[in-house]
Structure 1
Amino acid sequence: MSRWLTTLLTCLLVQNVLAIDVNPEDETSLKNAAKTVATTMIDFYNARDSKDIPGKFDETWWEGGSMFMTLIQYWYLTGDSQFNDAIQEGMYWQKGDDNDFFPSNYSQYLGNDDQVFWGLAAMTAGELNFPEREGEPSWISLAEGVFNGQIPRWDMTACGGGLRWQIWPYQDGYNLKNAISNGGLFQLSARLALYTKNATYAEWAEKIWDWSHSTPLLRKTWVIADTTTNAANCKDHGDHQWTYNYATYISGAGYMHNYARLFPTNGTESKWLEGITGLIKTSDQFFPESGGKQIISDITCEPINKCDRNQKTFKTYFTSWLGFMSLIVPSNVTSEIMGKFKASAVAAGQQCSGGSDGKHCGIRWTKKSEWDGTIGLEQQMSVLGVLNAVLVPFAAEGPYNADNGGKSKSDPHGGSNPEGSVGPEPITTGDRVGAGILTAIFVIFWVGAISWMVVGGK
C-alpha cells in the first residue's frame, strides 16, 4: 500500500473516531453528544471580545437571544444546569430599561427580527419553567413586553399592514417587510395565546397570519418569500429560501392549532392544520438529494459555501421549534420530519470532527463524515438545535402554560407601552387605526430628527 493512501486512510479513520457518535434512539447517547456540543459553544461565548457585557456577542446582538433559547431547551431536556447562571445573567442584562429587550445601547440599529428572538427566548424560558431570579421580571412578562413593543409598529401605510424589517427610517431594509419579522411576531403571539389564554394574543396571531397569507411572504402554495417591499405594495418577492422562515410560521401554527382545540371557533383548528402540513411539505426542499432526502440543509447558501454567521444558525430554529411543536400537534403531522431529524442528528455528529480536539462542528451535514472545514459558535448552535429536537420525545411533558404547570406569571401590561399593551379586551377597529397613527407619528418624528441632524451638522 502506498504511503499517501496509508496516510489518507489514517486521517479518515482518526476523523471518524473523533466525530461525535449519536444514537438517536438512545437518550444517554443524545445527552452526551449535546453536552459536548453545548460545552464547545459556551467556550466560544466565553472567549468573545465583548465578554464583559453579558449576552452581547461580537458584532451582533440578536444571536445572544437565540443561543440562550437553545441552551434553555438543552437544560430542560438534559437536566444539565451548568450554564444556567450565564443564561440568567445574559437574559436579564439585555432585557432593557423597559423590560422589552430593547436596550438603549443597541436600540438605534436593531430590527424587529432582532428583538423578537429575545422575546422568543424569554417565551421558551417561561414555557419550560426555567428558573427566575427574585426581584427580576418574569420570563412571560418579558415576552409580553416584546409583543407590546412591536404591535404599535404594525404598519398600515402600505400593503394593508405588516411589520417592517427594520425599525428606524435611516436603516437599510426599513422599506422591506420580511418573513422572519412577521413570522416571529406571529409565533410569539401564538405562544402567548396558548400560555395565557388571553384572546387578544390569539387575535393578533390570526391577524398576522392572514396578512402574511395575503402577500408573497406566505403564499397559497405554501412557499415563503424572504422579503417584499412597500414600494410594490407587497406584490414583489425576494425568493431566497431559508429554513428559519418556514420554522417560525410552522411552529406558530402548531401553537394556534392547540389553542383552537381548547377554544373551537368556526373550523380554525383545520385552518392551522392545513398550514402546518402544507408548509412542512414545502420544507422537503431543505432535505436535498445530497443527503438522501433525510439530512437538513440551508440550500440557498450551504452547497456554495456562502453561509454567513446568521445563516449558519437557521437550522437551529427549524429543528428545535418543530421538535417542541411535535408535543402539541397530532403525532402523524410531524412523525416523518422527526424521523428526518434523527438522520440529521447522526450526520451532524459526524460533522463534529474539526478543531484541535476533533469535536468542533461544521455546518454542511450532508457531507456526513467529511468535515467541511468550518468551526464557530453558530455551527455548534445548529448541531445543538437538532440534538434538542431528537431529545424532545424523551421529555415527559411540556411545553407548560398557565393551566398545566407553568410557573412564570403573565403581565399583559409588560414592557414600555402600557397604553398599547394587551388587556382582557380584544382588539378593535380603534386599535388598528391607533397602530397606524402611531406608526405615522413615529415616521414623521424620525424624518424630522434626521433632517435636524443633517442641517445642524452643516
Structure 2
Amino acid sequence: MVYSSTFFALAALPFLPVHAIDLDIASTDSITSAASTIAKGLVSYYHGTEPGHIIGVLDAPYFWWESGAMFDTMIQYWHLTGDEQYNDIVSQGLLFQQGPDGNFLPPNQTSTEGNDDQSTWALAAMSAAEAKLPAPQGSSWLSLAEAVFNSQGARWDTETCSGGLRWQIFTFNNGYDWKNSASNGQFFELASRLAYLTGNNTYSDVASRTFRWSVTTGLIDEEWKVFDGANVEQNCSNINKIQLSLYAATYISGAAYMYNITSGDDQANWRTTLNGLLNQTISTFFVDGVATEVACESIGTCTTDMKAMKGLLAQRLVKTIEVAPYTFQLINPLLQSTAEAAAKACSDSKCPFTWGDKGTDKGSQSGVGEQLDALSFVQALLVKSAGNKSSTTVTGAGAGNGTTSSNATDTASGTHTGSLASGTGISSPPGDNGAMRMEGFSMGIVVAFWISMVWLAN
C-alpha cells in the first residue's frame, strides 16, 4: 500500500512546472542561448570520450550513421553561433572513424555499413571543409570527402536499373538489392558540394548524371516528390513511394549548390529544379508551419533513425539559403515557426519529437534525434547573421588532394560551363524580388518538371 503522503506527492508530479526554452526569434542573443541549451542536451548523449566507449560512436540504440549526423549538426552549430566548445570532440570523432583508408569505412562498421551511412560521414567532413573547421596537421576534411566520392563512384552500378548506387555496399547485407534516394541523393549532394568547393567539373558532371538517373528511374516524380527506392530485381520499376524529409532535403541541397555554380540556361534550369523540390517539400513536410515527419509522426511509428530526419532537413535548408540566397524569404518563415514550436515543446535542455498540435509523440522522452531536430531548427535562425563562412576554395590543413577516380567520371550534358559563382553573391532575376511564390504551384509544377527533364536529356 502507498502511504497517503507519498500518494499526494506522486499525484502532484504531473503539475510540476515544465520549463520551455525561451526563444525570441528577433534576438540573436536569445537564439544563440536557446541553441546552446539544446546543444548541451544533445552532446549529453555522447560518451565516446569516456572509458569503455568508442570515440566517435553513440551508444545503442543509435546506429553509426547518426553519430556522423550529430557531428555534422555540431559543425553547423559552431558555424552559426561561433561557440567552439564542442569542436575538439567533433574533430576527434570524425578522424577516429575515418578508417584505415580515410574513406569512412572503419573495420568495426564494415559488416553493416551502407552507402548512405558512409556518405553521411562524408557530408559531415564536407561541412567541416566548407566552414573551415580547424583540422590537425596532416589531416584534411576535404580529402576525406573526396575519398568517399571516389569509393562510391566506383560502385555506380550500370548492370541494373541503368545506373545508380545500391543501398548497401556489401552483397551479404539486407538491402543490397535496393537502390534508394538516401544513397543516391546524398551522393548527388556530395558531388555538388565538392564541385562548389573545388571547381572541378568532374564532380558537377557526376552530380548531373546522378540527378538525371534519379528522375528517369522515378525516385523523383513529375511533381518533385522524392520517394524511398526500388528493387533492382524488378529493374527499379516498382517504386516504394514512402516520403521522408531527409530524402527531399539532400536533393534540395544538391540542387542549390548546382544552381550556385552554374550560369545562364543551366542555372535557370537548376533554379526551376530547386524551386520545385522546395515547394513540394514545404507542401508535404510543414504542417501548419511546423516541420513534421508525415509518414510516421502522427501515428507514432517513426523509428530511431526517422526521428533525426527533420533536423537534417533544417540543416539542408540553411545550406540552401547560403548558396541560393533568393530562397531566404520562402524558407525563413518556416524555420521561425518551427523553431518557436520546438523551443516551446522543450523542457529545460531536453526536447520531444513532436512540436505541433498533432502527433502521438508529443511530450515523449527525448533522444539524440529529437535534440538534433530541435537544435537544427533553432540554430538555423542565425543563418543571416552568421554570414557565409564557406568558400569556393580551401587552403591549409583542410585542402584536399584534388583527385577523382576515373570510375567516377562521366561526360554528362546539362552541366555548367561557366565559372563558379560566389556563395553569397547570386542576385535574383529581375522581378523576382528574391522570393519564390507558392501561388500557382499545383498548376505549374508539372510543366516546370518536364521543361527541366528536357534540359537534363539534352
- The whole-number CA distance in structure 2 between the counterparts of 1:128 and 1:359 is 26
Contact between 2:352 and 2:364, CA under 8 Å: does it hold in 1? yes
Equivalence for 1:339: 333
Give me the whole-angstrom Cα distance separating, in 2, the residues matched to 1:348 and 1:295: 9
- Whether the aligned pair in 2 keeps the contact of 1:190 and 1:205 (CA below 8 Å) is yes
Within the alignment, does 1:377 sit opposite 2:368 as a pair? yes
- TM-score, normalised with respect to structure 1: 0.82
Pairs within 5 Å for 1:120-199: 120-136=123-139, 138-199=140-201
Residue 126 of structure 1 contacts residue 406 of structure 1 at CA under 8 Å; is this kept in 2? no
Could you report, residue by residue, the CA deviation over 1:265-308 in whole angstroms, capped at 9, with x for unpaired residues?
Answer: xx2112211111111111111112xxxx2101001111011111
Contact 2:47–2:58 (8 Å) recurs in 1: no
The 1-side partners of 2:79 and 2:198 are apart by: 21
How far apart are the structure 2 equivalents of 1:169 and 1:238?
21
2 CA distance for matches of 1:407 and 1:391? 27
What secondary structure sits across from 1:124 in the alignment?
Answer: helix
CA distance, structure 1, for counterparts of residue 132 and residue 325 of structure 2:
24
> Which runs of 5 or more residues in structure 1 are unaligned?
1-6, 430-458
Q: For the residues of structure 1 that align with 2:52 and 2:40, how far apart are their CA atoms?
A: 16
Render the CA deviation track for 1:318-376: whole Å, top value 9, x for unaligned.
11111121022142x342222111010010011212xxxx4310010113999522211
Query: Displacement, 1:10?
Result: 10
The Cα of 1:146 is off from its aligned counterpart by: 0.6
Q: What CA distance in whole angstroms lies between the structure 2 residues aligned with 1:50 and 1:155?
A: 42
1:80-119 aligned within 5 A: 80-119=83-122
Contact 1:22–1:33 (CA under 8 A) maintained in structure 2? yes
- Out of 336, 353, 362, the position equivalent to 1:363 is 353
1:126–1:407 Cα contact (<8 Å) kept: no
How many angstroms does 1:179 deviate by? 0.4
Q: 1:105 to 1:343 in 2, by over 3 A?
A: same
Residue 45 to residue 32, structure 1, CA distance change in 2 (3 Å): same
Please say if residues 40 and 349 of structure 2, whose CA atoms lie closer than 8 Å, have aligned partners that are also in contact: no
Task: Give the Cα–Cα distance (whole angstroms) in 1 for the partners of residues 391 and 122 of structure 2.
Answer: 17
Does residue 1:33 correspond to 2:24, yes or no?
A: no
**What letter corresponds to residue 286 of structure 2 in structure 1?**
F
Paired residue secondary structure (2:111): helix
Whether contact under 8 Å (2:102, 2:144) holds in the other structure is: yes
Distance 1:118 1:55 in 2: 11
CA contact (8 A) 2:177 2:233 kept: yes
**Residue in 2 that maps onto 1:452:** none
The one-letter code of the counterpart of 2:356 is: T
Offset at 1:421?
A: 6.9
Q: Which amino acid aligns with 2:83?
A: D
Distance in structure 1 (CA, Å) of the matches to 2:36 and 2:367 = 16
Secondary structure of the residue that 1:207 maps to in structure 2?
helix
- Aligned match of 1:442: none
2:287 is the alignment partner of 1:285: no
Per-residue CA shift, 1:103-124, capped at 9, x if unaligned?
A: 1221121000000000000000
Q: Where does residue 379 of structure 2 map in the other structure? A: 388
Write the letter of the residue equivalent to 1:32: S
Distance 1:213 1:401 in 2: 28
RMSD over aligned Cα, in angstroms?
Answer: 2.4
> What is the match of residue 272 of structure 1?
270
Aligned to 1:218, what secondary structure does the other structure show? coil
Asked if structure 1 preserves the Cα contact closer than 8 Å seen for 2:138 and 2:397, the reply is no
Aligned in 2, Cα 1:181/1:47: closer, same or farther, shift over 3 Å?
closer
Report what 1:62 is aligned to: 65
Please list the CA deviations of residues 91-137 of structure 1 after superposition, one character each: whole Å capped at 9, or x if unmatched: 1000110111111221121000000000000000000011111132x
Once the two structures are superposed, residues 195-214 of structure 1 have per-residue CA deviations (whole angstroms, 9 ceiling, x without a partner) of 00000000000000001010
Q: Identity over the aligned pairs, expressed in percent?
A: 35
For residue 145 of structure 1, report the CA deviation from its aligned partner.
0.7
Q: Give the corresponding residue for 2:410.
A: 427
Counterpart in the other structure of 1:445: none
Q: State the match for 1:327 in structure 2.
A: 322
**CA contact 2:80–2:383 (8 Å) conserved in 1:** yes
**Secondary structure of the structure 2 residue equivalent to 1:108:** coil
Opposite residue 377 of structure 1, the aligned amino acid is V
The question of whether the paired residues in 2 share the 8 Å contact of 1:247 and 1:322 is answered with yes
1:209 aligns with 2:204: no
Q: AA paired with 1:317?
A: L
* Pairing partner for 2:17 from 8, 14, 19: 14
Amino acid at match of 1:318: L
Partner of 2:303: 308
Q: Report the secondary structure of 2:230's partner residue.
A: strand
Q: Distance in 2 between matches of 1:346 and 1:327?
A: 22
Q: Which residue of 2 aligns with 1:441?
A: none
SS of residue in 1 equivalent to 2:163: coil
| C-alpha deviation, 1:392, in angstroms | 0.8
Moved more, 365-374 or 205-214: 365-374
Contact 1:345–1:386, Cα closer than 8 Å, also in 2: yes
State the alpha-carbon separation in 1 of the partners of residues 91 and 216 from structure 2: 39
Question: Do the aligned residues in 2 keep the contact of 1:49 with 1:58 (CA within 8 Å)?
Answer: no
Which residue of structure 2 lines up, in the alignment, with residue 411 of structure 1? 401
SS of structure 1 residue aligned to 2:381 = helix
- Separation of aligned partners in 1, 2:323 and 2:128: 17
Contact preservation (8 Å) 2:353, 2:364: no
Q: Which runs of 5+ in 2 are unaligned?
A: 1-9, 413-458
2:41 and 2:358 map into 1 onto residues whose CA distance is: 20
Q: Does 1:297 align with 2:299?
A: no
Number of corresponding residues:
399
Match of 1:446 in 2: none
Partner of 1:45: 46
